[in-house]
């Protein structure tokens, strides 16, 4: 792995030992002392769409993270479906808890690889910001309703939120995030994709997202009794994780075994990924963010583990995501959103004033979609009951 960059004279004032060290200079010095050459350094950021003065004590990616956390869209994730709606229980993940878990795993990986943790955290916190209510059920129905008009993608919607829809600053629309965060969100990737590759920090979040949902969707399904631990332990990934656990604790059973296997699954996947990425980075030809662009994906699990993950995902797709109880709630949610979409489209005066005004520029269908996508599960149900129940 490449060594962190030295504290060099290309940072203003560092060539003069007596020069006063300001907070921003401290950010640059800290990153040069701790981050690798292939990491994205704050000092090298391409800036923002709407130029702003530098903050006196926060770097650009710290500001991005703070802006996302303080946004209305981020708060709404607390009542948006990850996989299972609140009707089924209250143990399972929401979009917010999933996002925080992705951020946690991402920072762990980023620190081990000497990458920019502030950028990684901002990317993790924004990655699911565009999800509508009711999870993929909501996304799929909005995509169908916008057929021929660009469709609906939660990745694209996240960009619309942070560039246009959030209204927190008088100086500019959206959150005016750094170009690195915007680019990272616009280039959500598959591990099989070839060059040009996104920044390593973007790759970290993509890998952490996969590690997190593969593990925690199964955990939530177990808690809701949609499948059994015995069924999961028949899958190659869970069977291998169980063997690793039993090497340390042979007598575990029931809930203790379940928790131990879940912990092992995350640790094993992260360890495998780090071993593979560190080996590739140690070759030394990736010595800058620009050099990352010309390579295949670096931050990914080994091919053997990837095959086991694909097997698990196929199993979850058939046994959990298409479970009769899940499909029942999915159909109900989609019917509700279809009715609401038609109702607001045919009666645009029901939209809040700023969305009525926005419809003249963005088009009515897209504006209705933007309004629905911003709703939480609870608010969507409430507005359906209030305005459209009898339609």
120-160: pLDDT as tens digits: 999 999 999 999 999 999 999 999 999 999 999 999 999 99
pLDDT, one tens digit per residue, over 330-339 is 999 999 999 9
Structure tokens that stand for 16 in this block: 């003069």
CA-to-CA distance for 349 and 82, rounded, in angstroms? 31
Structure tokens that stand for 193 in this block: 């994709």
CA-to-CA distance for 150 and 69, rounded, in angstroms? 28
CA-to-CA distance for 37 and 288, rounded, in angstroms? 5
Task: Evaluate whether 223 touches 137 at the Cβ level (below 8 Å).
Answer: no
Task: Evaluate whether 186 touches 203 at the Cβ level (below 8 Å).
Answer: no
DSSP type of residue 164: I
Residue 195 confidence (pLDDT)? 61
Q: Phi first, then psi: what are they for 94, rounded to 5°?
A: -105, 175
CA-to-CA distance for 323 and 169, rounded, in angstroms? 44
CA-to-CA distance for 176 and 183, rounded, in angstroms? 13
- Intervals of the chain under pLDDT 70: 1-22, 85-91, 188-195, 391
CA-to-CA distance for 28 and 43, rounded, in angstroms? 6
Task: Evaluate whether 136 touches 60 at the Cβ level (below 8 Å).
Answer: no
Residue 162 confidence (pLDDT)? 98
Task: Evaluate whether 93 touches 207 at the Cβ level (below 8 Å).
Answer: no
Q: What is the pTM of this model?
A: 0.91
Residue 5 confidence (pLDDT)? 56
Give the chain's end-to-end CA distance (angstroms, integer): 62
Angle, CA of 69, 75 and 81, to the nearest 5°:
125
Q: With CA atoms as reference, report the closest residue to 173 among 50, 61, 354, 74.
A: 50
CA-to-CA distance for 274 and 109, rounded, in angstroms? 7
Q: Strand runs (DSSP E) across 97-164, as ranges?
A: none
Distance, C-alpha 354 to centroid of its chain: 28
**Residue 250: how many other CB atoms lie within 10 Å:** 7
Residue 26 confidence (pLDDT)? 85
Q: Could you tell me which CATH number the domain at 23-388 has?
A: 1.10.3210.10
CA-to-CA distance for 126 and 377, rounded, in angstroms? 19
Q: With CA atoms as reference, report the closest residue to 323 among 190, 214, 228, 188.
A: 228
Exposed / middle / buried, residue 242 (Cβ in 10 Å: 0-12, 13-18, 19+): buried
Angle, CA of 132, 222 and 109, to the nearest 5°:
65
């Amino acid at each position: 792995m490449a060594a962190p960059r030295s504290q060099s004279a290309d940072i203003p004032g560092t060539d003069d030992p007596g020069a006063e060290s300001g907070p921003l200079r401290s950010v640059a010095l800290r990153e040069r002392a701790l981050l690798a050459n292939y990491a994205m350094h704050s000092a090298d950021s391409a800036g923002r769409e709407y130029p702003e003065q530098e903050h006196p004590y926060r770097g650009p990616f710290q500001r991005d993270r703070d802006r996302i956390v303080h946004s209305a869209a981020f708060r709404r994730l607390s009542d948006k479906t990850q996989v299972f709606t609140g009707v089924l229980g209250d143990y399972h993940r929401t979009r917010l808890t999933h996002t925080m878990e992705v951020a946690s795993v991402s920072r762990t990986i980023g620190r081990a690889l000497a990458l920019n943790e502030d950028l990684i955290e901002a990317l993790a916190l924004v990655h699911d910001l565009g999800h509508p209510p009711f999870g993929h059920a909501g996304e799929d129905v909005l995509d169908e309703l916008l057929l021929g008009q660009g469709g609906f993608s939660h990745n694209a919607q996240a960009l619309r939120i942070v560039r246009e829809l959030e209204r927190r600053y008088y100086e500019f629309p959206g959150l005016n995030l750094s170009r690195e965060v915007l680019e990272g969100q616009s280039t959500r990737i598959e591990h099989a994709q070839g060059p040009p590759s996104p920044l390593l920090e973007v790759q970290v979040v993509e890998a952490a997202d996969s590690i997190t949902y593969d593990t925690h969707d199964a955990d939530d399904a177990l808690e809701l009794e949609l499948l059994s631990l015995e069924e999961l332990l028949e899958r190659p990934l869970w069977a291998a994780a169980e063997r690793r656990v039993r090497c340390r604790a042979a007598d575990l059973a029931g809930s203790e075994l379940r928790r131990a296997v879940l912990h092992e699954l995350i640790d094993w996947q992260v360890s495998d990924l780090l071993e593979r990425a560190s080996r590739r980075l140690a070759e030394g030809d990736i010595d800058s963010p620009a050099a990352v662009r010309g390579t295949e994906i670096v931050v990914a699990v080994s091919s053997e583990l990837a095959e086991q993950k694909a097997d698990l995902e196929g199993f979850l797709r058939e046994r959990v995501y298409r479970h009769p109880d899940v499909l029942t709630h999915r159909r109900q949610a989609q019917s509700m959103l279809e009715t609401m979409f038609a109702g607001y489209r045919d009666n645009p005066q029901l939209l809040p004033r700023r969305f009525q005004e926005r419809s003249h520029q963005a088009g009515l269908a897209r504006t209705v979609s933007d309004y629905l996508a911003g709703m939480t599960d609870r608010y969507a149900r409430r507005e359906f009951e209030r305005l459209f129940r009898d339609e």
